[in-house]
Structure 1
Amino acid sequence: MTNNETTSPAASLVMTVYNGERYLAEAVESVLAQTRRDFELVVWDDGSTDRTLEIARDYAKLDDRVRVVAAKHLGRTPALKAAIAETAAPYLGWVDGDDILAVTALEETAAVLDRESSVGLVYTDYVTIGEDGKARGYGNRCRIPFSKDRMLLDFMTFHFRLMRRSAFDAAGGIDESFRCAEDYDLCLRMAELTEVRHIRRPLYYYRIHADSISQRMRIEQIHCARDAMVHALERRGLSDRFEIDLQIRGRYSLRRRKTNG
């Protein structure tokens, strides 16, 4: 599995993980299986207390494209920003430590950036999977046609994204003031400065499970996303005409109680 290439990587892929021992091996292996091989993978251990760091270091021993950073616990957004600062390749993307990247994801997205210099961000469709890795369905967000204006209300550039670093830097990179929804805020800013392309194939497998950040922080994500929308309206000179009307609606159902009998 060891990579013997001496050339600089074309793409930097980042994976930030906190206590992710359950799914990390599968996530890392999906990156290492990419058909386009000129990349580096930076695994940022965000102060895990389980076997996450040990697992990551085992892969670094097997493949020199894997670089592991052991850090104190910072939290999702600061960790992502710090991990990206460790990279330098002209293309940039990230994979969550509990998700799976299709084997051609990097090849197909990088081909768009190689071919079209005006494009700064390319994204793919995705499939949701369960804890067991079995497909649950086609991603809802990627069904929405891309437009810079529609993105003000719908985050369709959800997964997988590969960015031209120059466009990422021009947009200002990760805004650490966002505790969550930092990727939505970034994509809004990038869409204002560069062309975006959509690959209509599911090249990312997004895992839904009880411990995922998206489940624990759903309400906070909604409020952070609203803040990203408000900032975008201000940047685009639309805040005097529009405001965000946020409605959070509960959905309830009955279920049978568990009995001890």
Structure 2
Amino acid sequence: MIKVTILMPVYNGSRYLQRSIGSLTAQTYTDWELVALDDESTDDSLSVLKQLAAADKRIKIMSKLNDGKGNTARNISIMSKEAEGDYIFYMSQDDYLSADLLQNAVSRAEETGAEIVIPDMLLANADGSTEQAKGSFAPDGDYSTLLSGEEAFAACIDFSIHGFALIHRRLMFAADCDTSYFDSDEYNTRVQYLRANKTAFCHGTFFYYQGNAEAMTKKFAPKQFQRLNTALMLGKKAEQEKMKKEVMAKMRRWQMQVYLNVLMLLFNNAGNMSRAEYKEAVKRFRQFEHGVRFGGYRRSTLKGFGMYEKALAMVYFACGTCRHLSLLHSAYKRLKR
């Protein structure tokens, strides 16, 4: 059986594939396969994939019709049908790896028995420069750290650890993985951390590419309001698991941050949305507002917020919503210019 399967959805990514897949063929560890899923690309991505697969039999190609939803979790579910590895590693078409990443990750998994191993992560820019982000390295720089399921869940809520990891297939392909929303992978990854026997860390760098202006994280789309549903689900999961008060405080703070970030999307893009899209967005806001209770966590929720965020959050606590503040937001934006 293959040790590691790399999953890579591809959509109009031909300009990046030589580098991303080249970083796989350059790995010092060789017991891997790549499952690449072409999402009905309109550029020559499929042709590039076929050329690369002809040169390296470890590369498998799948294809699907593009449904316009950009649902990573659903794509992972599709690719699972061809994945043979004991461990799974997910990467986008424009990301790339240092040559020692897989070797270090597999070695660490074998040394510790950990079902998840997290490598270093750097943000990679179009000009070739890199930047650190929160959670780029092992906690406190200690690569001997081993986290329990609840510890890893708590750490990944606010990205104190990132989600690009070597993950055992029993976790990655669990039967109850959610595929409902475009960012359901955010929910699934955090639940995978929760269910893992332990999470370890290793050297070797995952380069998370930031220079693709066409990436779905860079452009507004109405599906981004689905983040509210994912945040609501994660809060419910924490409640079901009876998480400690400090973990719940972190969860509520993160949920409020998601709410406010998505609220800015509504304020800034409402005029470009159809009536049906706007109604759907409001429905998602209402589901969140009715489903999340901040009682007992209001003071801790405000920690780390700027003055504007604090003001909005306090209005939310008083009124149960901030959706009526679009005019105030417009005035605030004009004053900041």
**TM surpasses 0.5:** yes
SS at match of 1:13: strand
Counterpart among 227, 234, 239 of residue 229 in structure 1: 234
Partner residue in 2 for 1:190: 192
Q: CA deviation at 1:121?
A: 0.7
Q: CA deviation at 1:83?
A: 0.9
Partner residue in 2 for 1:87: 83
Counterpart among 99, 124, 128 of residue 95 in structure 2: 99
Q: CA deviation at 1:228?
A: 4.4
TM-score in terms of structure 2 length: 0.64
Letter in 1 for 2:116: L
Q: CA deviation at 1:92?
A: 1.0
**Structure with the higher fraction of residues in strand conformation:** 1
Q: Which runs of 5+ in 2 are unaligned?
A: 140-146, 265-307, 309-332
SS at match of 2:12: coil
Letter in 2 for 1:207: Y
SS at match of 2:77: helix
* 1:164 aligned onto 2:158: no
SS at match of 1:139: coil
* 1:54 aligned onto 2:56: no
**Structure with the higher fraction of residues in helix conformation:** 2
Partner residue in 2 for 1:139: 133
Counterpart among 213, 216, 233 of residue 213 in structure 1: 216
Distance 1:33 1:46 in 2: 25
* 1:20 aligned onto 2:16: no
Q: Which has the larger radius of gyration?
A: 2
Q: Deviations 1:78-105 (Å, cap 9, x if unpaired)?
A: 2222012221221111111001111111
SS at match of 2:108: helix
Q: Deviations 1:195-240 (Å, cap 9, x if unpaired)?
A: 11122x4511111122222222595475355234313323312599
Partner residue in 2 for 1:151: 155
- RMSD over equivalenced CA pairs, Å: 2.8
Counterpart among 36, 42, 46 of residue 35 in structure 2: 42
Q: Is the 8 A contact 1:155 1:184 kept in 2?
A: no
* Identity level (%): 21
Distance 2:166 2:35 in 1: 15
* 1:175 aligned onto 2:178: yes
Q: Is the 8 A contact 1:127 1:135 kept in 2?
A: no
Aligned length: 242
Distance 1:186 1:60 in 2: 30
Structure ranking higher on relative contact order (CA contacts 8 Å, 6+ apart): 1
